[in-house]
Chains A and B, each alone.
Chain A
Amino acid sequence: MSEQLVYAMEVFLNGLMAGVLYALVALGFVLIYKASGIFNYAQGVMALFAAATLVGIMKGQVPFSHLINAVFDTDIHHFGWHLPALAGILLAAAFMVLLAWMVQKFVFRHLVGQEPIILFMATIGLAYFLEGFSDLMWGSEIKKLDVGLPQGMNTWIDEATFKIFDYGFFIDNLDIVATIIAAILVFALVLFSQYTKEGRAMRAVADDHQAALSVGINLNFVWVMVWSLAGFVALVAGIMWGTKSGVQFSLSLIALKALPVLMLGGFTSIPGAIVGGLIIGVGEKLFEFAIGPMVGGATENWFAYVLALIFLVFRPQGLFGEKIIERV
């Protein structure tokens, strides 16, 4: 087997792993879009916020300590405890539920029945608010997040591939864990939305508010539930990305990569988010590998968007999106 082909296979595998992380962020978008027709621009910032909260809780950081110190001339930083990862994740998840409730109570409850563009603008506002709030609450420095996920090269794959191809593949353990967790998450979410009472209510609300009310569905409850779920997905994505590259502002920019993922997969499809993420991940890595050197590299910055653009022309509803049926 030619050397080039073996390298390409490694790139392909790494692309799959990167794609899983894109898919995780895209999943949060799909959840909220499905249930409320809102494109949640703040999803990326929610991931950042969730990860920062997790770090803060685990380190026993005092929230708003800078503000408190400035106003009361005190010098407090930490409560002085260190929480184990699991407890920290549970508390951070609970905090995301609280956030979901507040977002619904103070923002979207007052915007029921407004145009989608208004709701979209509200999420942009929410994104900037959360970004500032996160800095104020936990500080803006780059934080290291370690919840005990394995990291570094997977030696087993390295050895196994070395035996076959005479060349060891570099696959990060963290990426493997992320893939497994994403698979479980997607499986659980699909089961939830297809087979539970709450999932059915969620799909109903997504389809028609008035009809949902008339069969006895509490809209507010469903929306809080969906924002909580999206918050939880954001937490998972935040943990993965945060562990990989530190909890920092650029985390929220990953959300923009989720856009082409959604255009590919379709805004309304949970499996679509996954497949879209994988295609983008593999596509941009392979493209960089094959074409990158010819055009001076850095194709990863734009490849996804160009691919999404091409898709928009030929299949605007995405690979798995609901076909837009309109009777004339």
Chain B
Amino acid sequence: MNDMSSEGYVTEDGRKIGGTLMEMKNITLRFGGVKAITDISFDIREGEIRAIIGPNGAGKSSMLNVISGFYVPQEGEVWYKGARRPQMRPYEVAQQGIARTFQNIALFEGMTVLDNVMTGRLNHMKTGLLSQAIWKGKAEAEEVANREKVEKVIDFLEIQAIRKTPVGRLPYGLKKRVELARALAAEPSILLLDEPMAGMNVEEKEDMSRFILDVNDEFGTTICLIEHDMGVVMDLSDRVVVMDYGKKIGDGTPDEVRSNQAVIDAYLGVSHD
């Protein structure tokens, strides 16, 4: 790890947060004449849960898409693991260890839960086509190792019962969990969650919150998540970026953000006169 950043800190509940893993520098993203993101900078530290919040249309999802390579910003730099990241396609970003979920769920509907989660391991499968054909043993050993990792994730997220079910048949809340499982199976350096709790009932939200905390605790995974529900985020995250109309209006611990006047205004819709 390049130590160009300040050292980490320890949270109240005793988790150690490391140095800067990713840094967004002065990101601006335009769609035609519309500015979705205006000059935003923030960092993500190793091992923390970092949230990006804001009202609908604030540009949160656009920000996540910039991080995961689906959008290319017109201005600004993305720094990852101490080096400036060149322009990349989404699959290259994924290969660098940045996994994500989608707001509207993007799963392989025709495949079973198990097969879906296995696709998360694709980048960890080293043996190529030829060696798979010629040297069956090595490929098999690799398959077994990958299977073990996948089973661990499936256990962890408590979806054993639906392992063999085609994803298309699952209810919404479970689909969200399967998507999380697939992202986790990739053993990512950063896990990006796009509104992991959108459209869930209270019970499902509680489950998902617990899983996010457990993932971070158990695997030490760095998580960056987007939510517009402020209550959930404040309990989950270590630090929060607040966006409104494409601009950053707050950045800090949940407590700091909660007492920030600009943030309160954005959420309560105070008129500026």
Listed in ascending order, the chain A residues whose CB lies under 8 Å from chain B are: 195-198, 200-201, 203-204, 206-208, 210-219, 322, 325, 327
Contact = CB atoms under 8 A, between A and B. Distances in A.
B168 interface: yes
10 contacts: A197-B127, A200-B118, A204-B111, A204-B119, A208-B107, A208-B108, A213-B91, A214-B102, A217-B91, A218-B89
A200 B95 CA distance: 16
Contacts of A216: 91-92, 94-95, 122-123, 186
Nearest to B95: A216
A217 B169 contact: no
A200 B68 CA distance: 22
Contacts of B101: 214
A89 B23 CA distance: 53
- Identify whether the interface residues of A are mostly helix, strand, loop, or mixed: helix
Given A200-B122, A204-B119, A325-B166, A215 B186 contact: yes
B27 to A, nearest CB: 20
Q: Number of contact residues on B: which range applies?
A: 35 or more
B268 interface: no
Nearest to A199: B129
A214 B188 CA distance: 12
Contacts of A214: 68, 90, 94, 99-102, 106, 183
Given A206-B110, A207-B108, 15 more contacts: A197-B125, A201-B122, A207-B111, A208-B106, A210-B106, A211-B106, A212-B91, A214-B101, A214-B183, A215-B122, A216-B91, A216-B92, A217-B119, A217-B122, A325-B166
A198 B109 contact: no
Nearest to B127: A197
Nearest to A209: B106
A327 B173 CA distance: 14
Contacts of A208: 106-109
Given A203-B111, A208-B108, A213 B169 contact: no
B109 A215 contact: no
Given A204-B108, A213-B94, A216-B186, A325 B119 contact: no
Nearest to A214: B100
In the A-B complex, the 9 residue pairs with the closest CB atoms:
A216-B94, A211-B106, A207-B108, A213-B90, A197-B125, A216-B95, A210-B106, A216-B123, A325-B168
Nearest to A206: B110
Contacts of A195: 132
Given A214-B100, A217-B122, A203 B108 contact: yes
A211 B108 contact: yes
A109 to B, nearest CB: 13
B168 A215 contact: no
A283 to B, nearest CB: 29
B165 to A, nearest CB: 11
Interface in B96-121: 99-102, 106-111, 115, 118-120
B182 interface: yes
Contacts, number: 86
Contacts of A327: 168-169
A196 B134 CA distance: 12
A219 B91 CA distance: 8
A121 B107 CA distance: 28
Interface string B26-48: 00000000000000000000000
Interface string B116-148: 001110110101110010000001000000000
Nearest to A211: B106
B132 A215 contact: no
Contacts of A203: 108, 110-111, 115
A92 B98 CA distance: 41
Contact of A197 (B92, B132, B166): B132
Interface string B174-194: 000000001100100000000
Residue from B115, B122, B182 having most chain A Cβ neighbours under 10 A: B122
Residue from A215, A218, A322 having most chain B Cβ neighbours under 10 A: A215
A11 to B, nearest CB: 38
Nearest to A219: B91
B108 A218 contact: no
A203 B109 CA distance: 11
Interface string B138-170: 010000000000000000000000000010110
B212 to A, nearest CB: 18
A203 B108 CA distance: 9
A216 B186 CA distance: 10
Contacts of B128: 197
A322 B128 CA distance: 29
Contacts of A206: 110
A198 B111 contact: no
Given A196-B129, A207-B108, A322-B110, A215 B123 contact: yes
A218 B106 contact: no
Nearest to B171: A327
